[in-house]
Amino acid sequence: MRVLSRFVLVPIVIALLPACEGGETPAGCVCGPAGVTDVLDPELPKRLLDAWGGADLSPMHPDGCPSTTPVTTTPLPWKAGAFCDKAADCTLPAASPPGLRTYCEVATHACRYALTSNAEPLRELQRLYRGVQVYHARKHRLDMEGKDLGCTYPSESLTTPLDDCCKLGKEAAERVCPADPLLWSQPEWSDLGFQILGAHRFQYAQRKKAGGPWEALATVDSTCGGCKHTFSVSALERAEDGCRLDKPNAVHYRPGDDKGTWSAEECGAPLPEMDLALTTEQQIEFTFPSKTGLWSDSISGPLNPAYSPSAFIPMSLNPHYDEVKTSLDVLAKGAASYWESGTAGACSFPIAAPTTPAEGSCCSAGNLKGHDTDGDQRCDPSAGAWTSVTWKDLGFAIPGSHVFVYSTALPDAQTFYAQARGDMDCDGYNSTFRVFVRGTQVGTGCVAEIVDGFYAEEETE
């Protein structure tokens, strides 16, 4: 009998074993699927062949075994080829990445790999994937001039931090990147509502290559000796659902980083490149957040049942978007009404209003000197702030405290926009939102159209 294997060590072991002849199975001999039986799992032969891609790749061979021979334990040659009876038979190399685990798959007696549910790369890749779902699926994203951008992806990021955590840790033994909120303030991260506020082990990147899917990557040097590992997920667009993205059922793993380098001398033999299957619970974390706060209208068209628990898409990840939407809706409707009324004796919009409140910020922290006297980092109520002619013409005032400051502008005689700008954490960086109204004259009448969608810049800053 022959035993085939894709592992280098197995033929050496098998060469020392006796052949299966004469209807007998010597100790350690592996019988083929035509005759193997397992008192615990009669389907074992078929499952083994399926798991290993067919007889030519299986460590079993379908010749020369009596049909009555039971196989109740995993023979030694199988274990040499990463087969197992129990979890203890499966071990990870010393240079393995944090968060990776191995286990013995009962159905195939094969050692498999997976990410632990609390693993840093799984947790952060889930957050990035949810962020790109929201960013990409939002209908009618506008540019800063109010033109429809359609289904878009965020701009490509650099690897963040640029240096790996072995270099950034205070001591090499720590192997952690210290907390640095400024690293995540760039639009390519803030547009996804993503930042890491504590210490971490991995570097992150996200990108959309021309003609390919969007992907997020997490890379770590597990030993601080050049033994790098990369986990990644890809976002695939569902054509039948417009801008919707399908959710992944696996995280891809490969040894090395983007340069593909791996030092066998320093790190030992690398793990194989592979897809790490996700449990149902892990997959759920790749879907949209649950329905909280302000959400858009229901999505039209086919709905993928996997997108539970909500059939809605959040219009923004900004935690104060409810204020933004309510205020900008009032301003847009007020501008459209003003144009259509011909109040000034012709088709026109109200004159531009400067930033209100005049301080330009609602933050008193960090020497920002905003319109805030009680230190809650919100603009204090101020009826006098909204008494100018433009705010009256638009029917707009905010009676209570608020987080954003507001202004309006007229890029040309037929275009109006209202802008909201707010500093969520009072660090001097602002989120900006705009809504647009376009006016036309039809005969002697004035017709205004509120542009569907909004412009956003650093929307979670």
Q: Which two tokens stand for residue 322?
A: 């409810």
Residue whose tokens read 């033109």 = 147
Rounded Cα distance, 147 and 438, in Å: 11
> Distances in Å between the alpha carbon of 292 and those of 2, 296, 319, 412?
61, 11, 10, 38
Phi-psi region of 74 (alpha: psi -120 to 50; beta: other; left: phi over 0): beta
Q: For residue 247, which amino acid is it?
A: K
pLDDT at 144: 84
pTM of the model: 0.64
pLDDT at residue number 357: 95
Cβ density class 231-263: b for 16+ within 10 Å, e for less: bbbbbebbeebbbbbbbbebbbbbbbbeeeebe
Annotate 323-350 with DSSP letters as a single string: HHHHHHHHHHHHHHHHHHHTTTSSS-PP
pLDDT tens for the chain, 461 residues: list them.
Answer: 333 333 333 332 222 333 333 344 444 344 443 333 333 344 555 555 454 444 333 344 334 344 444 443 444 333 334 567 788 878 888 889 999 999 888 776 778 899 998 899 999 999 999 888 878 866 567 888 888 777 788 889 999 999 888 887 655 456 788 888 888 888 889 888 888 888 899 999 999 888 788 999 999 998 888 889 999 999 877 655 567 777 788 999 999 888 877 888 888 888 888 899 888 888 878 876 543 332 333 333 333 333 332 334 456 778 888 899 899 999 999 999 999 998 767 899 999 999 999 999 999 988 888 999 999 999 999 989 999 999 999 999 999 999 999 999 999 999 999 999 999 888 888 989 999 999 999 888 899 999 888 888 887 77
Chain centroid to CA 174: 27
- Name the residue with tokens 């001999």: 29
Residue type, 101: R
Distance, in Å, from the CA atom of 314 to the CA atom of 325, rounded to the nearest integer, reads 12
In this prediction, residue 330 carries a pLDDT of: 94
Gyration radius from the chain CA atoms: 31
Paired strand residues for 404: 422
Bridge partner residues of 255 (DSSP): 229
Task: Write down the residue that tokens 């190399």 correspond to.
Answer: 93
Contact 352, 394 (CB under 8 A): no
Supply the pLDDT for residue 47: 52
> Counting Cβ atoms within 10 Å, is residue 270 exposed (0-12), middle (13-18) or buried (19+)?
middle
Residue appearing with tokens 């303030």: 185
CB atoms within 10 A of CB 433: 23
Tokens of 440: 């036309």
**Distance between CA atoms of residues 43 and 455, nearest Å:** 58
Three-class secondary structure of residue 166 per DSSP: helix
Q: What confidence score (pLDDT) does residue 288 get?
A: 61
Which residue, 57, 75, 56, 83, is CA-closest to 18?
75
Which tokens belong to 174? 């720590």
Could you tell me where the DSSP H helices lie in 38-174? 44-51, 76-80, 120-137, 165-168
d(CA 100, CA 104): 14
**Nearest Cα to 158, choosing from 127, 189, 134?**
189
The pLDDT of residue 81 is 44
Q: Which amino acid is at 458?
A: E
Q: Where are the beta strands (DSSP E) in 130-272?
A: 203-208, 214-221, 228-237, 245-246, 250-255
| Residues 231, 100 contacting (CB under 8 angstroms) | no
How buried is residue 36: exposed, middle or buried, by Cβ count under 10 Å (0-12/13-18/19+)? buried
- How far is 335 from 328, CA to CA, in rounded Å? 10
